[in-house]
Amino acid sequence: MLIRAGIERLRELGSHLAFVLGHRDYYPRHGFIPDAGEQGYPAPYAPTVGFEDCWMVRLISPTGFGIGKGAIACCEAMNKPEHWRDDEADRVDYDKNHPAPCPYQWRKPAQRHSP
């Protein structure tokens, strides 16, 4: 419901496309096409090799893909490399038998050690 409301708001604002860096199995259910870079829309910071399909695009208007291709600029708050990195230290698999399907997803908070 939240994604649908966000897409509708973007449509009202005159947007043609929406982009997300997210879970490869979840966002396609809402019309997002995996690997937006392959579609001609490279991410502001390159996704980790093997997870390019986590960068996705969704058509909002009928003219969406006709407006051109090229680099994507995101809002200033997200336009920082630390939001796009995938340092090995950031990966926390909730279950070693079922590794995380995409590094850009929820991670368990780091455990704090008492002194």
* pLDDT score recorded for residue 98: 45
Instruction: For 34-72, write each residue's pLDDT tens digit.
Output: 999 999 999 988 888 888 899 999 999 999 888 889 888
Contact in structure between 102 and 22 (CB atoms under 8 Å): yes
* pLDDT score recorded for residue 105: 43
* pLDDT score recorded for residue 48: 80
Start-to-end CA distance of the chain, whole Å, equals 44
Where do we find the tokens 């259910």? 29
Give the chain's mean pLDDT. Answer: 78
17: pLDDT strictly greater than 70: yes
Taking residues 15-24, what's their average pLDDT?
91
Q: How confident is the model at residue 109 (pLDDT cuts 50, 70, 90)?
A: very low
